[in-house]
Amino acid sequence: MAGGNWTRISDFILMSFSSLPTEIQSLLFLVFLIIYLVTLMGNNLIILVTLADPMLHSPMYFFLRNLSFLEVGLNLVIVPKMLRTLLSQDTTISFLGCATQMYFSFFFGVDECFLLATMAYDRYVAICSPLHYPVLMNQRTCTKLAVASWFPGFPVATVQTTWLFSFPFCATNKVNHFFCDSPPVLKLVCADTALFEIYAIVGTILVVMIPCLLILCSYSRIAAAILKIPSARGKRKAFSTCSSHLLVVSLFYVSLSLTYFRPKSNNSPESKKLLSLSYTVVTPMLNPIIYSLRNNEVKNALSRTFHKVLALRIHIL
């Protein structure tokens, strides 16, 4: 692009954790590689078990399977490039590759916001209307809710990515982040981005706050229902089905809000990277543990699946 300091950029350089010593980067590579493998194994295991075991063919595990799909997708978009950057110092990413990475990170992130709200609604129906739960949350309804949760990612990611990458960029192409996220890429733009920033704030409010309000509304009803349960054991059992979801929701929404509510805030790049790590790397690893591996139904299903596979192998041999 002609004029001033504008230029046509063909690729970007991800600064990632280049400011750290090589030894620390090598350590980070090992840590993130372990987290990445645990995330893929944990979420894929949840997907396979909830599909294979008839005892887990319920709405709760149907939505959990969708969540695992989102977590795997988000990790595949972000983590492999980050690991390659740490290991080989290959920090270059093409213009199209950067736009693609940003598009799918928005897509999976937005969809997770709405899916978490859907999961909260499922818990609300299960606890507040247990007798009507099988009718209200039938297969057709669950499918519609899942589609409604997956859909918002398409328009949000398309508008945000297309608009941002239509701006002219300055001479520098160094993105001070470990993936092509909107705020660090926005800092490279050589144009008036006021309208885009307004859109980003409004979009964040719609994407983050509306599902969050739906979650709060569901849990306020759940809390009222739990308080009416006469036995302490019944209260603990009902609360245990919600506490894990609340923990992950809090971690996900807080870090997401702090990162995107102020796209050009004065927060240090390192603090932004830490916040991004919490919802792009850490939370996807914790979800299978928090949601499922502490659940006796899932543990029993894993045991049954393992014994079936073992018996099949013995029969073949």
pLDDT in tens, 80-124: 999 999 888 778 999 999 999 999 999 999 999 999 999 999 989
Residue 16's nearest CA partner among 104, 105, 79, 103 is: 79
Mean pLDDT calculated for residue range 18-26: 86
Which class is 11-308 in CATH? mainly alpha
Helical (H) or strand (E) element with 254: helix 232-260
pLDDT band at residue 307, thresholds of 50, 70 and 90?
Answer: low
pTM: 0.88
pLDDT band at residue 267, thresholds of 50, 70 and 90?
Answer: low
Mean pLDDT calculated for residue range 28-53: 92
- The full set of domain ranges for the chain reads 11-308
Among 123-127, 171-175, 286-290, name the most confident range: 123-127
Q: Residue 317, class by beta-carbon neighbours within 10 Å (0-12 exposed, 13-18 middle, 19+ buried)?
A: exposed
Residue 154 burial (CB count, 10 A): 14
Cβ-contact 275, 259 below 8 angstroms: yes
